[in-house]
Chains A and B, each alone.
Chain A
């Protein structure tokens, strides 16, 4: 008879304690980050599984990650050229440098919304840090961004070789700020969606609106020229994280200038704060997940 090997003898058996008392706010956030750090391998497996799943049922498989942003770019180029007649110079590249990060952001957030609710069965039957679920969706979004850099490279080399500058090397820096921001939002929406499933429906429309209110298809200057007589619009527009992100991506990819360092640093600080806040909220709500799901 096949028998399984004995567990390696542990020096001290782990004591597991569960009470109705909850740690302090800072304690909860620290606990959340510790959980993420200690379950890195689990997160990696979940990301791999997700990548495999996304490419599984199509003929071209993961090649779609390269084609998708290109197709989207063509659609918007046609649309905007027809409507405005007078787009920016080198408009395909202009638009691509915004579409690529935006696709990453939307896929991360919309995957994260269902990341906890989708694992309902597991949550009710096994004790594990639920934070790994939205964090894993955040990182699987990164892969689509990284694959999207392939068509970006092709565009640059084949059509816009005069726009290649060393500033391109700063793309990861801008992307890191976006990663922190999307991680915070992913953790937040995944927890709220457990209690209000409406969020999944609402968020798609919200994201679409957000996209059109951000300088993706147009440039920030065009908005500034509108808001000359109304400084509040310019101010509010500047508060949009994606104004900062899109402009920074565009600086390093399209314009060949450094990113907006000041606003970018401020955004990083805000994103870290959002991530801490979301982690705290998630940890507060986590004990109720198994009951509500």
Chain B
């Protein structure tokens, strides 16, 4: 790590440490009325270790993670594939765009009651919600990325002997990659936010469900643990996509 980057990273840690210390002090000194509802940071950490050792946390996190992974991957693949077709072919774009334009604004969680009836309450439900949540934004980012590539690049590739499929693979997709990655990065975080909501409402397992159980038992420490885990997971996934995107496009952008 370069010196400047290390210093900046250290500066980022300081406010977080200050916040955690303030939290600990406020909770310990009973500075807020009704401190019953605010466990100290150290208490929360203790519970985190206990839940992890018992395998409860890992189990719920894994279940949520697998749902997100399947739904997000399926939604991304479908979004990118149909996005490529729409971006490449004007007729397909004109045909599909009006339909998707009507479906896109519906919030992913809005589909929940309908899907509960159509597919029932089971593993398919959160996966489908994540699919819908990922599909539309990634589709639109892909279409925008492909259609944003100057037509002159296509002409140049044609005169150099490239077939349509090779133009797509060697020119359009690589140049549209930053746009596609922006969609993936934003939606990977969004998928976690949506899965939690879905699990809170309709699914008995997963981090969302754990939070709802904790709420009914007044276990504020567990709720806080779940929120902290979500924050770390969303942050890490976004950083991971950013890193991959930069690795792939940094040199020429």
Are A and B a genuine interacting pair, yes or no?
A: no
Write the residues of chain B forming the contact surface with A, with a CB cutoff of 8 angstroms: none
